[in-house]
């Protein structure tokens, strides 16, 4: 490998995806050095991509000209740097991203930035305290909400699986945490190894985030969309909802697809996705799905058609939709009906978060 001499080339090298996992430090509360037992070893092995069988890690090594590489993990006193700093709460984990910059004498320096994600771990003894002491639990919820909206908080409950007789209390507590503390997510880990796996997955996702955001930016667009008509034909073909294929001539070769240009291909792909979404509803047969999609080609079209109507008017309009079944002398025609129409209207127009549409979705 040729020797890299200029600072600019050094920085460009470090900013590639190859070194993304070496530019993020996982910071955790110093309490984790003592409990749970085995935490430090398990997390270190997971974050360094270590092999538990031979103890060797597969983490990419920093170039030899990096004299001060960021640490992979670092214990921090909880709350020592405020709610905006690393490890803002007891038993919490956060991440610090380092950006290489030009330093003096040709060296590379690192500028650190605190990532907004915070992961709070609830150990078994703390979980028992929450279940027994309501005021203690409410104070914990308040501490989680104090981090928002600047920080995105998730929670891991590290405790063995509870017996069925005590499961209801835990479920109710998790529901309250989700709604009142406005958490991104709640997960449970019964062993230290499972806890380390979850922390390792969070760390990996944060490390790779800059390289995955391009999928949704304005320059790259939605990279998972098909780029040609023949791609759409192969990607979304489904026998339940056949579409009429079109044939075009491309440099003497016959190409089968759903359009002669990318715009038509994407329109066909979106239509196919809408058909599949409708098909997930119970009672939505192929004929019903095609009838709804023919009248309202996209979810936005359906929403716009119903949004300014009262609930009764919207249900009446949708229930009158004609459904054709069969062909020739066996052809029949029915209406969509109030039952399915009511569920669709409520799903698309209701702003009531407590509304239960039913078990038919």
pLDDT tens sequence across 253-268? 334 443 446 667 777 7
Residues 189, 195 contacting (CB under 8 angstroms):
yes
Task: Say if residue 240 is exposed, middle or buried (CB neighbours under 10 Å; 0-12, 13-18, 19+).
Answer: exposed
pLDDT along the chain (361 residues), means of 10: 66 88 94 92 84 61 87 93 93 95 82 94 93 93 92 93 81 90 91 94 91 56 43 39 42 41 72 85 84 88 88 89 77 85 86 68 44
357, part of any domain: no
97, part of any domain: yes
Q: Are residues 195 and 270 in the same domain?
A: no
356, part of any domain: no
29, part of any domain: yes
CA dist., res. 9 & res. 340, Å (int): 61
Q: Would you state the pLDDT for residue 158? A: 93
Q: Are residues 211 and 278 in the same domain?
A: no
Q: Are residues 160 and 75 in the same domain?
A: yes
Q: Would you state the pLDDT for residue 256? A: 40
**DSSP sequence for 85-132:** SSS-STTEEEEEEEEEEE-GGG-EEEEEEEEEEEEEEEEHHHHHHHHH
CA dist., res. 4 & res. 17, Å (int): 18
Number of domains in the chain: 2
Q: Are residues 33 and 136 in the same domain?
A: yes
CATH code, domain carrying 202 = 3.40.50.10130
Q: Are residues 145 and 294 in the same domain?
A: no
Task: Say if residue 50 is exposed, middle or buried (CB neighbours under 10 Å; 0-12, 13-18, 19+).
Answer: middle
249, part of any domain: no
Q: Are residues 67 and 141 in the same domain?
A: yes
DSSP state of 215: G
Q: Which domain does 188 fall in, by range?
A: 6-217
DSSP state of 30: G
DSSP state of 159: -
Q: Would you state the pLDDT for residue 120? A: 96
CA dist., res. 133 & res. 136, Å (int): 5
CA dist., res. 63 & res. 7, Å (int): 13
């Amino acid at each position: 490998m040729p020797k890299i001499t200029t600072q600019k080339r050094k920085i460009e090298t470090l900013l590639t995806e190859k070194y993304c996992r070496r530019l993020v430090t996982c910071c955790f509360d110093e309490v984790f050095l003592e409990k749970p037992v085995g935490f430090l070893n398990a997390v270190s092995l997971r974050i360094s991509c270590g092999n538990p069988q031979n103890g060797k890690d597969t983490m990419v090594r920093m170039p030899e000209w990096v004299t001060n590489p960021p640490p992979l993990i670092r214990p921090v006193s909880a709350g020592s740097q405020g709610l905006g700093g690393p490890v803002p709460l007891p038993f919490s984990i956060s991440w610090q991203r380092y950006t290489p910059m030009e330093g003096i004498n040709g060296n590379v320096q690192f500028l650190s930035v605190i990532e907004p994600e915070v992961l709070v771990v609830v150990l078994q003894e703390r979980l028992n305290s929450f279940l027994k002491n309501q005021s203690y639990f409410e104070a914990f919820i308040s501490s989680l909400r104090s981090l928002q909206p600047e920080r995105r908080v998730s929670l891991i409950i590290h405790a063995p699986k509870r017996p069925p007789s005590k499961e209801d209390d835990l479920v109710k507590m998790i529901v309250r945490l989700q709604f009142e503390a406005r958490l991104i997510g709640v997960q449970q880990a019964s062993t230290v190894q499972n806890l380390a796996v979850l922390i390792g997955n969070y760390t990996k996702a944060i490390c790779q985030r800059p390289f995955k955001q391009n999928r949704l930016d304005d320059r790259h667009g939605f990279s998972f969309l098909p780029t040609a008509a023949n791609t759409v034909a192969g990607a979304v073909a489904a026998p339940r909802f056949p579409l009429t294929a079109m044939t075009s001539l491309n440099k003497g070769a016959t190409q089968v697809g759903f359009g002669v240009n990318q715009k038509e291909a994407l329109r066909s792909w979106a239509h196919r996705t809408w058909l599949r979404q409708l098909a997930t509803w119970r009672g939505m047969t192929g004929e019903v799905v095609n009838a709804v999609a023919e009248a309202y080609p996209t979810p936005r079209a359906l929403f716009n058609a119903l949004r300014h109507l009262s609930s009764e008017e919207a249900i009446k309009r949708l229930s009158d939709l004609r459904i054709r079944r069969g062909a020739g002398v066996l052809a029949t025609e029915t209406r969509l009906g109030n039952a399915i129409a009511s569920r669709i209207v409520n799903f698309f127009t209701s702003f009531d978060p407590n509304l239960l549409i039913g078990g038919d979705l």
